[in-house]
Structure 1
């Protein structure tokens, strides 16, 4: 039963496979939750979704989340989406193109042209995809729009500004507050936490969210998960493991990366949120397997007889940039449990290499590490990751990006500092410590993977050397390489804040 005078904050997460909605009190109590599935179209490098399905799923998820909240006030809401997902809309904010998802790679030619013009973008980022969409669909209307903007426009009853977090991969310079000089119809940009408007009567009838509820500008799903992890104090890091892997931290200054692999979001209050998105993740696991049963059997293979780099799709974005990289597995697994073990360990090795790369760039890593995302439900995988990383890992009670959006809604509506709002809402379920001797046990296969990535020409030799130098250390050590050590050969110059 809920208190008649209680206030809940609504967070909505537009994920790859579903929409999630959480109604959360200021102390982190989840009063209601709902979800609805999403489907898409994948063909080779193509990955798109129908934007109209997002609104249908939001209607279902929101109604489910609010179904039993009789007498509870909804104080505000915020929406997050997948980073780099982009589409075109008309003057009324209605979609006129499919949405190109975060890993759609059809705009490789446009990305190459932008890089030649001096912009450090990756093939799957939103800016080249927006140019591709303008060429293919621009005759129907051309406003560049990010995934959450479609939903917030429907909630408020008209087009809204985008937030600087989702705009980052569309080329928005967060430090200068400016768009790049490109031939696109780009939206107005506001900071995350800005009030966009209120839920209109039509949206209230469709979703069950009360009319007049404040709608707050959100952040990307990776940033949302970071808020949900309470990882907003300087030196803190959050590793989000779902279909793919996203690692994000909190620092007083941007982390400068000459290769453009690490990019920097900006949180309300001025803290920088550097990080990167890898293409390895749980999406590489066989879908017809029983995860719990396979985890139990995989424990017999530590380390596995195979060394894997389990890419979900072609190309890698972090901890190195290699558009042509493909998944591989060295060695022959003894059975399907050994193969499963190799995939779990391979993701954790990639995670460690991300931390080694961040250390190479001089990023502070001495704060707590929090694990979130769907894979954090696996107790075995959490322990394995702590062992391979050689550092403790916090596991929150709720691992949903939607929780982060609830905290952002609280911040944007009441002015409560975001870090404080997150710490009030986040409940740490447990802390997983690495088991004695286990980190050293995985040093040899990790080094073998690093060497293989280097021999294939994907991982720069200076990064590999740095990873080797840290084999006997945990990944939380705070000693840094000399200033400028991140300037490895062949890297394109960048200011570290524009994608």
Structure 2
């Protein structure tokens, strides 16, 4: 007799990750399939939406081929957000997807941003959130201005998960949380905002909750007939996947970017923080950087080394050995500064330093970017948090994990799987298919932890100095970076 199972899928920035689990939390197998990202210069960062769908179908076919899925209850999907695909009436992508790292819309974003004052932002979002180059409205305004022919053909502007759901089930859906920046506290689209771009409102899919059944997979595809849930953005999927949903709990997700969040009913409007509308009793204050694991990948490409080899290099140094300061702004920065012109920087290099010093500097620089997030988030949520639940591919390095615990000055509690957003998507599938009545109960059943990292008090003074210098260096070079970027045309 087939076991009762669920599937969770995460359409990430570089990879589709999926897992098959029993409804009592045992993980039976995992799938991973990567896809390329095209970087054409001038801030352009694109992906082929068909590549997402191909890997999603590959995951379903893999599980169907290797297991008896007669007891499959449902499928949950999470994805990267502020990545947008423009889709025609037949469900096909009209152009490559504009990835969240893409900065081509910075100028049109600035025009839109100038039309909204801070009082209105706080009224809409609970914080003075900027309309930046990754905002959905900026993307629509850019397409309308630069490609009016494609804009006229556009039926839907969708996040990756919603595009995949459309192709799997034939149903156009979205959720209010992944529609970040387009939705207000009442969990509906913000008409006064959307009116700034004629035609924007009519191109957005209907909103539903995470656990709502979008539809069944159409015949002829793997797992045909299985219900697919609307799902959530990767940050919320990851939050569930690291066991966070109650007030005063905190998460730290590390993948291509670093994402931190605190659940708290308090709202103190704080620049740079995304204060999501309250959903299912959860008020999440969140902040994403631009280049967390992306900084490690960049350095690995320069040195010809994988992340494990970079960690081994960094481990050869004493904890308090002098290393340069690194700003990980390799393609602008998101929270808390939201500066598309920010750029990466090393300060303090000397001839006595080698690859180990550079590797440790990059790890520390990403850690300082996360500390800046934590500082802003605790102000926004009006609470101090510890421990911080953590997970994601970037938390597989013991060396880097300890560096980050030392920099943050907080205990980090790591979940026992690296595929945390897929695990959260599985929890959503379990609730949507009726296996559990609430997400809290699903999370309590399927989430487990494997290790804690405690900050070394002997490193506290060094990292206090390093963090202060990190912020000072950004402020001192901000205008220089802007001039350089503008001189080279973005």
- TM-score range, shorter-chain basis? 0.7 to 0.9
SS in structure 1 opposite 2:108?
helix
**What is the aligned partner in structure 1 of residue 40 from structure 2?**
43
SS in structure 2 opposite 1:243?
coil
**What is the aligned partner in structure 2 of residue 70 from structure 1?**
68
Q: 294-303 vs 84-93, which deviates more?
A: 294-303
Structure 1 alignment gaps of length 5 or more: 459-499
The answer on 1:108 being equivalent to 2:106 is: yes
Mapping 1:260-271, distance limit 5 Å: 261-266=272-277, 268-271=279-282
1:322 aligned to 336, 339, 342, which one? Answer: 339
The answer on 1:434 being equivalent to 2:450 is: no
2:161 aligned to 145, 148, 154, which one? Answer: 148
**CA-to-partner distance for each residue in 1:28-85, whole Å, 9 max, x for gaps?**
2111211222112112210111111211111112222343222551111111111101
Aligned partners of 1:78 and 1:218 also within 8 Å: yes
Aligned partners of 2:263 and 2:381 also within 8 Å: no
- Give me the TM-score of the superposition, normalised by structure 1: 0.84
> What is the CA–CA distance in structure 2 between the aligned matches of 1:363 and 1:92, rounded to whole Å?
47
**What is the aligned partner in structure 2 of residue 296 from structure 1?**
312
Aligned partners of 2:285 and 2:381 also within 8 Å: no
1:407 aligned to 402, 427, 431, which one? Answer: 427
Structure 2 alignment gaps of length 5 or more: 122-129, 480-490
2:131 aligned to 118, 121, 124, which one? Answer: 121
**What is the aligned partner in structure 2 of residue 370 from structure 1?**
389
Residues 283 and 71 of structure 1, relative CA distance in 2, 3 Å threshold: closer
Aligned partners of 1:254 and 1:264 also within 8 Å: yes
The answer to which structure has the higher helix fraction is 2
**What is the aligned partner in structure 1 of residue 237 from structure 2?**
224
Aligned partners of 2:325 and 2:346 also within 8 Å: yes
1:162 aligned to 147, 166, 174, which one? Answer: 174
Aligned partners of 2:260 and 2:286 also within 8 Å: yes
> What is the CA–CA distance in structure 2 between the aligned matches of 1:420 and 1:367, rounded to whole Å?
22
Residues 249 and 108 of structure 1, relative CA distance in 2, 3 Å threshold: same
**What is the aligned partner in structure 2 of residue 468 from structure 1?**
none
Aligned partners of 2:176 and 2:187 also within 8 Å: no
Q: CA deviation at 1:362?
A: 4.4
**CA-to-partner distance for each residue in 1:295-322, whole Å, 9 max, x for gaps?**
2332315344211111231x21112222
**CA-to-partner distance for each residue in 1:117-162, whole Å, 9 max, x for gaps?**
2163112222201222233121333422221111111221x23221
Residue correspondences, number: 445
Aligned partners of 1:164 and 1:189 also within 8 Å: yes
Q: CA deviation at 1:264?
A: 3.0
> What is the CA–CA distance in structure 1 between the aligned matches of 2:179 and 2:470, rounded to whole Å?
34
The answer on 1:338 being equivalent to 2:357 is: yes
**What is the aligned partner in structure 2 of residue 465 from structure 1?**
none
> What is the CA–CA distance in structure 1 between the aligned matches of 2:268 and 2:66, rounded to whole Å?
44
> What is the CA–CA distance in structure 2 between the aligned matches of 1:214 and 1:254, rounded to whole Å?
36
The answer on 1:215 being equivalent to 2:228 is: yes
> What is the CA–CA distance in structure 2 between the aligned matches of 1:251 and 1:416, rounded to whole Å?
23
The answer on 1:284 being equivalent to 2:295 is: yes
Q: CA deviation at 1:393?
A: 0.6
Q: What is the alpha-carbon root mean square deviation over aligned residues?
A: 2.0
> What is the CA–CA distance in structure 2 between the aligned matches of 1:214 and 1:367, rounded to whole Å?
37
SS in structure 2 opposite 1:175?
coil
SS in structure 1 opposite 2:418?
coil
**CA-to-partner distance for each residue in 1:307-345, whole Å, 9 max, x for gaps?**
1111231x2111222221111111115101001011101
